[in-house]
Amino acid sequence: MDKELIIIDEKQYELKYNEKTIETVEALTGKAFMDVVVNNKGMLSLSMLRQYFANALYAVEGGRVSSEQGSNVFTKVLNTKGYAYVNMLVINTIQRDCPFFFLGA
């Protein structure tokens, strides 16, 4: 999967995941990523989706953005592209960046 650029207010963003990012969100939400994916058939709750998006957002020019700014961008993307788009973007990007979750699945 190629990186998908997120363009909001003429700024380009992308999602990037690694073990640390996943662990951070798991600590914030109190739920393991794979537990949520398996038990909810790949559909994250809105609050969980916000955490996975906001904590993995990078400006193409400028690096990682704050989780507060990430949350604001999440709201804009959600309202313009819809829940299904954002959910699939997050899941597909985690699958690309952290394939170890899906090995043998």
| Residue 2 confidence class, pLDDT cut points 50, 70, 90 | confident
- pLDDT confidence of residue 3: 81
8 A C-beta contact, residue 74 and residue 65: no
pLDDT of residue 68 exceeding 90: yes
- pLDDT confidence of residue 60: 94
pLDDT of residue 6 exceeding 90: yes
Q: Average pLDDT for residues 23-28, to the nearest whole number?
A: 97
- pLDDT confidence of residue 105: 59
* 3-state SS string for the chain: CCCCCEEECCEEEEECCCHHHHHHHHHHHCCCHHHHHHHCCCCCCHHHHHHHHHCCEEECCCEECCHHHHHHHHHHHHHHHCHHHHHHHHHHHHHHHCHHHCCCC
Rounded Cα distance, 84 and 68, in Å: 22
Radius of gyration of the chain (CA): 13
- pLDDT confidence of residue 104: 76
Q: Where are the domains of the chain?
A: 6-101
